[in-house]
Amino acid sequence: LFLLTFFLFEFSHLSPGPGAVVTISALSIVGSIIIGLVAGLIALWGQAALTAAVIQTHAGSVHIGTAFKKGWSLLLPMLVISLLTGFIALGGFALFIIPGIYLMVALSFSVYVLFVENKRGLAAIQTSYTYLKDHWWAVFGRLLVLFIILMIPSILLGNIFDADTNAADIVNFIFSKSN
């Protein structure tokens, strides 16, 4: 996918005339959109398969093929639930920040309800809300700790390799520290 996008963008300036540039550039944009959608679908399928595999570990053994089949069968309901929870949380953020954070945490288990209890759409969202209603602070605290743990390396690496860094700078940095 990366190579296809690279070639679409890299050779878009090579054309015999002005009309061809527009055509190739349009092709680059359309190709990039298609590649992005396919990559997003594959990533979502991988996330669904991983969720199915984790749930399988609770039952005993994990079979990768079964996890991918289960993930594929629940891909559309997972997408619907993810979009619904995202829009609901976005509505909470539009009211002010606090309602958005509350809803984001309260609805965070909707996808897992889909996989474990096979509830779809609003039923999964309502079940997640019900489960977390009395345990909201405990879940919020755990998610906050996880967020901090994941952000520290990201911030440190972001400071080392800022936006102006390229691959050569990274290689030079690694080898200059090893000598």
Kindly indicate the confidence band of residue 20, based on its pLDDT and cuts at 50, 70 and 90. Answer: very low
Q: How far from chain centre, in Å, is Cα 113?
A: 18
pLDDT exceeds cutoff 80 at 98: yes
- For residues 28 and 161, give the distance between their C-alpha atoms in angstroms, rounded to a whole number: 29
Q: How do residues 68-79 score in pLDDT, each as one tens digit?
A: 888 898 888 988
Q: What is the mean pLDDT of residues 44-58?
A: 86
CA 29 to chain centre: 22
Q: Among 123, 52, 109, 120, which Cα is nearest to 80's?
A: 120
Q: What is the C-alpha to C-alpha distance for residues 177 and 144, in angstroms, rounded to an integer?
A: 33
Choose between 178 and 120: higher pLDDT: 120
